[in-house]
């Protein structure tokens, strides 16, 4: 492992360790929130607008960073996704992909099923997973 990769991975793990409130997948006030006016339930989940392309729809989801962070913290263990260092090592070997994390989030009721068809969102999760693992994943 290159020294820069080790330093980057360490910095990411440290930042994840100090991030609070992500495990509950609650999102704070965000300029990109959406309320579904046609039902009594409101959808108030944030979008990482910097990582998503301009072709994304107006529907908002949990931020890709928060999704990967939630996986790292063990939020998808019941869906078969490992946490911590095991997630990183499996991600480095290609055994865990962005689609795997999105599928786990769908099964955990953190995302709607149609997100699997949103290539911009998948790419943004892929980018965040690559940051975590230090691997440059192909699109």
List pLDDT tens digits, range 76-135. Answer: 999 999 999 999 999 999 999 999 999 999 999 999 999 999 999 999 999 999 999 998
Which residue is associated with the tokens 């991030």? Answer: 19
Which of 32, 30, 24 is closest to 73 using CA atoms? 24
Closest CA to 42 of 33, 50, 52: 33
43, 35 in Cβ contact below 8 A?
yes
Residue 46 · residue 66 · CB < 8 Å: yes
Tell me what the mean pLDDT of segment 51-70 comes to.
73
What share of the chain has pLDDT > 70, as a percent? 55
Inter-axis angle of helices 64-72 and 98-107, nearest 10? 80
Cβ neighbours, 10 Å, residue 100? 19
- Cα distance between residue 127 and residue 51, in whole Å: 8
Supply the pTM of this predicted model.
0.60
Weakest mean pLDDT among 56-60, 64-68, 71-75, 115-119: 56-60
């Amino acid at each position: 492992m290159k020294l820069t990769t080790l330093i980057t991975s360490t910095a990411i793990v440290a930042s994840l360790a100090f991030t609070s409130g992500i495990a509950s997948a609650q999102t704070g006030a965000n300029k990109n929130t959406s309320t579904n006016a046609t039902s009594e339930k409101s959808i108030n989940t944030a979008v990482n607008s910097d990582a998503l392309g301009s072709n994304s729809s107006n529907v908002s989801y949990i931020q890709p960073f928060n999704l990967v962070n939630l996986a790292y913290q063990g939020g998808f263990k019941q869906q078969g996704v490992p946490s911590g260092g095991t997630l990183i090592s499996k991600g480095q070997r290609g055994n865990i992909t962005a689609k795997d994390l999105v599928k786990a989030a769908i099964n955990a009721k953190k995302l709607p099923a149609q997100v699997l068809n949103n290539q911009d969102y998948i790419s943004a999760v892929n980018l965040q997973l690559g940051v975590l693992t230090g691997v440059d994943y192909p699109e």
